[in-house]
Amino acid sequence: MKVKANDLGLCGIEQLFFAGTSKYSDTGIDEGLAVCEIPHDCIITRMVAKVTTAFAGATSPALVYGTADDDDAYLAAADITEGTAGTYTKQLFEEAKQGDKIMVKLTGTGTFTAGACDLYVFAVGIPEVNG
């Protein structure tokens, strides 16, 4: 069972939530695709990308997670080994506002034939904003 965002630490406790699964075949992933929307103002403290199926078929794959303004703001290409199933984590300290979207983008040369990645986010609610 995957966890969903609840109150995102309104009492100041770091919480984990499942942001979504990204697949090589998702429409629009090559241009940038929203994985999830932030439900409350928070500070993102860590992201974990779990490559469940190695990305294959294309050369020079790059799977990145970020914002609409900065496609690799959270996890850059160097943070994830797309061609190897495994878990990749990165410590962060990024403010996110309610309604902000976490975006994913997959690029490479050629055509992908496989690949899937689950994204998990650790976050703490911003107490001044969330009461």
pLDDT at 129 over 90: no
Q: What percent of the chain has pLDDT over 90?
A: 77
**pLDDT value for 18:** 94
Query: Which pLDDT does position 13 carry in this prediction?
Result: 81
Q: What is the pLDDT of residue 40?
A: 84
In the chain, where the domains are located: 16-124
Instruction: In whole angstroms, give the CA distance from residue 116 to residue 26.
Output: 10
pLDDT at position 2 is 64
Return the CATH number of the domain spanning residue range 16-124: 2.60.120
**Beta strand extents in 1-131 (DSSP E only):** 15-23, 33-37, 42-56, 59-66, 86-96, 101-109, 114-125
